[in-house]
Amino acid sequence: MLTSLFQILVLYTFVNNYVLAQFLGICPLIGVSTKVETAVGMGAAVTFVITIASVVTYFIQLYLLNTLGLQYLQTIVFILVIATLVQFVEMVLKKMSPNLYSALGVFLPLITTNCVVLGVAIANISEGYNLIETVASAIGSSIGFVIAIVLLASIREKLELADVPQSFKGVPIALVAIGLMAMAFFGFAGLV
């Protein structure tokens, strides 16, 4: 059991990284990765939402949608759950860390439409994971997202000091960096 959980963690952190292998969640990756501090904050917020959303959607799928034969409502219900959790995170950040709240700006509500959050919730159900495996998948996916966004933010901070051609400044060089990171993470393909 422990080996299986470790494999799930490694699988979603490195091998099937939602950002670098499946290219989900690119919008917040590019939008919030200009500074490491805001990238860490966004990573923490996304981690909280992915983990809680995965657990809540697991129970909703198991005890509500499956029981009532309403599996066709899965995507809509999951989006509503995620939107509610994001509102909660937004309220907490506004109270506890106003600086991070203002630094994340418009990208905080965008967690609602972050494909990674919905992708993890749906993948957990389609893979048939139990509750503990669902949590391991959520944590592994979250760690993978945090690694990707913090690495990209670090690279972009260094690129601010580099002599980058004018046509590549900003988002274009970020996309090149994401492509190179994706190729590097492809090296983990045979790990699990």
Q: How is residue 22 annotated by DSSP?
A: S
The answer on pLDDT for 192 being more than 90 is no
> Which tokens go with 107?
């990208």
> Which tokens go with 59?
């129970």
What is the structure's pLDDT at 21?
Answer: 92
Half-sphere exposure of 130 (CA within 13 A, CB side): 4
The answer on pLDDT for 123 being more than 90 is yes
Work out the percent of the chain whose per-residue pLDDT is above 70.
Answer: 98
Q: How is residue 65 annotated by DSSP?
A: I
Q: How high does pLDDT run on average in the chain?
A: 90
pTM of the model: 0.88
- Pick from 14-18, 111-115, 164-168: least confident: 111-115
Q: What is the mean pLDDT of residues 33-42?
A: 88
